[in-house]
Amino acid sequence: MTAVPTIGVLALQGDVAEHVAVLRSLDVPVVRVLSPEHLDAVDGMVLPGGESTTMSKLALRYGLMEPLRERVAAGMPAYGTCAGMIMLADEILGGTDDQRTVGGIDMTVRRNAFGRQRESFEARVPIDRIGGGPFEAVFIRAPWVERVGSGVIVLGEVKGPGEAGRIVAVLQGGLMATSFHPELTGDARIHRLFVDIVKGHA
């Protein structure tokens, strides 16, 4: 077990700086990952929000897709927000034909699922694992999770008036994903949970 793990943030595209800032506020060494070599230095990875089709293209172009898959398959913890959640999904709906994911979480994620109804919104999401009351979650053209395998723990759901509950936060071993963006709201509880997960795995 490493006392202070080094966490990488996939820095190809998206809200990289915001994740780096939250992790630094938790006194965690952070590496911006832009090449396979950078991956060697990290104990866990954050995959940020952004645009998953672009992230997929850039990950392939920078030679990062396969090394990321290998590390995740070998047990490296990872946390994906929004587009990053899509990147960690074994199966996606509404993607482009050439879109690829790193995968790792046995789930089916629908891109822009909430976006069809509301481009962006905020909701209070109860997440028992983090304590301290519901999480003020910001959703931006967000995906939701339509199917989870038996090894996946549902951490949080959103339910609007008259709507079915939608899964927006999941955990499978060391892999975590949220449809929303905790890096934008100044509440570090979910990042702290991820750092603890990485410490446990290191």
Instruction: Return the active site residues.
Output: 82, 181, 183
Q: Which of 43/111 has CB closer to ligand GLN? A: 111
Task: Work out whether 47 is an interface residue with ligand GLN (CB under 6 A).
Answer: no
Degrees to nearest 5, angle at CA 91 with 97 and 139: 95
Residues in the chain: 202
Closest Cα to residue 29, out of 198, 201, 200? 198
CA distance 152 to 175: 9
Task: Work out whether 42 is an interface residue with ligand GLN (CB under 6 A).
Answer: no
Q: Which of 140/158 has CB closer to ligand GLN? A: 140
Task: Work out whether 49 is an interface residue with ligand GLN (CB under 6 A).
Answer: yes
Q: Which of 39/138 has CB closer to ligand GLN? A: 138
User: To the nearest whole angstrom, how small is the minimum distance from the Cβ of residue 50 to ligand GLN?
Assistant: 5
Quick check: 43 and 76 in contact, CB under 8 A?
yes
CA distance 119 to 116: 7
CA distance 74 to 171: 17
Amino acid at 197: I
CA distance 174 to 181: 19
Convert residues 128-167 into a mask of x (bound to ligand GLN by CB under 6 A) and - (unbound). ------------xx--------------------------
Residue numbers 89-128 binding ligand GLN by CB under 6 A = 111-112
Task: Tell me which of 28, 58, 72, 82 binds ligand GLN, using CB under 6 A.
Answer: 82
Q: Point out which residues bind ligand GLN (CB under 6 A).
A: 49-52, 82-83, 86, 111-112, 140-141
